[in-house]
Structure 1
Amino acid sequence: MGNDKDLKKKKKRSRSNEKSVELVVVANEAKQIQQQQQQQEKVIANEENQKPKQQQGNPNPKKKKKSQESYPFGNYKNYYGYRISNDMDEDPRLKVLNKEWFQGKDCLDIGCNSGIMTIHIANKFGCRSILGVDIDSSRVGDAQWHLRNFVRKQNHTKAGEKKSSGSKEESISLSNGEANTGSSGETKDLFQIVSFQKENFVHTRNLDDNRYDTILCLSVTKWIHLNWGDDGLITLFSKIWRLLNPGGIFIMEPQPWKSYEKNRRVSETTAMHHRTIVLRPEHFQEILLDKIGFRTVEDLTSSLSGVSKGFDRQILAFKK
């Protein structure tokens, strides 16, 4: 009997030792991969430093200045100019959004950039209110300009159109810078419906007392992720959950991981967080349903058509 016990103990120790060896091997392999990646980054950095610098007296200083512009938060100028093709009259994402998510509802657009999508949502679907927030005060200024310009253009449409039907009356009211707010038939000027303000959504507490029926976060998660890491991403999702009314809708257009790779070096901060990110975009749906608490998700991507190359991204609608 004593021999049997000794044999069992030896087997347990053996299995334990084997497991320890396996863990050490895995850890060493991971360390080797990380060292290889760091070495590759050093090689690339050295190659960049060895490139001949431009001579002084550059005949085209404007071009040089433009090449040095950096947008570490995705706060690109004229973003919609290259997102929407010249032969398109509106953003193709508008076609996959349900009117019932916006009509007569209070809405929030996180990372609104120059506000064009925000304005068109208000105009097309008749929000009761929609607030666009962006981290860049210049983009917020652009958004406010676009709103004034949009209403001004709409006000110059022909005022003599005949009001032969209810739908036509609604169309004319929209052309005069007004949007129908829903079942009551009340109309408001777009200036009363659409507003913009500068906010860092991850850190701000200015919105804590607000509640919304629909929240949009379109092509923004990557920039929050790269600038504030996994913690910033979870803060984003948790705050959206808190700000949504029961039954509210969260519409997300996440960028794929290859897009992270492309933009990881826009700043030291993004490069640092890129190396430490664990929660990849393919995990977002699971996190929002199983960890944050959303009840259902609908994939809108299959209905998306006419999207410019590079912007054919997944669009998901989560219900609280």
Structure 2
Amino acid sequence: MKRTSDSSSQRPKKKPSHRPIHITVGAVNPPASHLNNEKRKFGTSSYGNYTSYYTTRHPQGDATIDYRIDLLDASIFNGKSVLDLGCNSGNITIALAQKYKPSFIKGIDIDENLIRKANTNLRIAYSLRDPNMKELKHIDLALQSHYFPKCLSNMYGLLQMAVPPTFERTEFPWTVEFETVDWTENPYNPNEQQYDTILALSLTKWIQLHGGDKGIKSFFKKVFDSLSRDGSFVVEPQELKYTRAKNLNLDVDNFKFLPEHYNDFLMNKLGFKKCLDLGAPKGSSTSIFMYTK
């Protein structure tokens, strides 16, 4: 998808929803913006927003590859508009942008500190990459491997990314954008952009813990509406287990809409046309699923 120099065309075109489904959007609890004080009681990771996820908490520790991404075909990224929900510090977003060259990829997260870190990671990846590199052959999950030594950015600073308004943003890193937002707080607005591919990795548990059964259904509805025709939704269903659930005043046993029910809802209630079980990535027992609108 080629972009023109017109600033209004630098984002995916807006398309109407082809199958409106009447599901009330809204969480059981108040929106996250009303929970700031409560959220602090449970620490900064009560939404799964771990600050060192890609170096300490990820199953592969300081791995240089994410086996979930290995399960995905390049065709759902190359030249596509992509939305990475719960992007954390942007590691996967940045790696996908370099390796698969989407026309545009946006990472969003509820934690402004993580988004700040994601923007820094983007500038580091841009500043220290091989200037002659045409294609990234290896995804470095931890974003620690660079063509130039990292000390150069400490000594001389990072490259500027500012460009003129007429600049065609068709190349990395200008195809990448990060934003701090609680995506679950509001329903889809028909004036918003739609995406060819939406990722929801390590995310469903946190949405359901805070929003309940109604919250996760509303999330799926918004994903459906935010996808363009024939768009792909990649989701990693998570078990509703959380050692600190009592701190959040949650009784996980009361949830009725369980991960094994997701498929029926997505296919028969929302209207996804196809579901593909991509299998479980190495080191995990949880399968990744791809739904086609």
TM superposition score normalised by structure 2: 0.69
Q: Write the letter of the residue equivalent to 1:313.
A: T
Describe the superposition over 1:231-270 as per-residue Cα deviations: whole angstroms up to 9, x where unpaired. Answer: 111110000000101100000011123xx243423423xx
Name the count of aligned residue pairs.
225
Correspondence 1:110 to 2:93: no
Q: Indicate if the aligned counterparts of 1:229 and 1:276 stay in contact, CA closer than 8 A.
A: no
State the Cα distance separating 1:171 from its structure 2 match: 5.6
Instruction: Determine which structure has the larger helix proportion and give its number.
Output: 1
Describe the superposition over 1:56-81 as per-residue Cα deviations: whole angstroms up to 9, x where unpaired. Answer: xxxxxxxxxxxx84521111111111
Correspondence 1:314 to 2:287: yes
Identify if the C-alpha distance between structure 1 residues 224 and 95 changes in structure 2 by more than 3 Å, giving closer, same or farther: same
* Counterpart for residue 76 of structure 1: 50
Q: Write the letter of the residue equivalent to 1:246.
A: R
Correspondence 1:210 to 2:193: yes
Correspondence 1:99 to 2:69: no
State the Cα distance separating 1:280 from its structure 2 match: 0.7
* Counterpart for residue 41 of structure 1: none
Q: Indicate if the aligned counterparts of 1:84 and 1:91 stay in contact, CA closer than 8 A.
A: no
Q: 2:271 aligns with which of 293, 302, 310?
A: 293
Q: 2:112 aligns with which of 137, 145, 148?
A: 137
Larger Rg: 1
Q: 1:195 aligns with which of 177, 201, 217?
A: 177
List gaps (5 residues or longer) in structure 2.
1-41, 140-146, 149-158, 160-167
State the distance in 2 between where 1:147 and 1:169 align. Answer: 17
SS at match of 2:199: strand
Q: Indicate if the aligned counterparts of 2:197 and 2:233 stay in contact, CA closer than 8 A.
A: yes
Q: Write the letter of the residue equivalent to 1:93.
A: R
Q: 2:103 aligns with which of 128, 131, 149?
A: 128
Identify if the C-alpha distance between structure 1 residues 187 and 103 changes in structure 2 by more than 3 Å, giving closer, same or farther: farther
State the distance in 2 between where 1:187 and 1:170 align. Answer: 17
Identify if the C-alpha distance between structure 1 residues 170 and 140 changes in structure 2 by more than 3 Å, giving closer, same or farther: closer
Identity %, equivalent residues: 31
State the distance in 2 between where 1:89 and 1:246 align. Answer: 34
State the Cα distance separating 1:91 from its structure 2 match: 1.3
State the distance in 1 between where 2:48 and 2:209 align. Answer: 10
SS at match of 1:119: helix
Correspondence 1:265 to 2:246: yes
| Greater relative contact order, per chain length (Cα 8 Å cut-off, separation 6+) | 2
TM superposition score normalised by structure 1: 0.64
What does residue range 12-91 of structure 1 map to in structure 2 within 5 Å? 69-82=43-56, 83=58, 85=60, 88-91=63-66
Cα RMSD of the aligned pairs, angstroms, is: 2.8
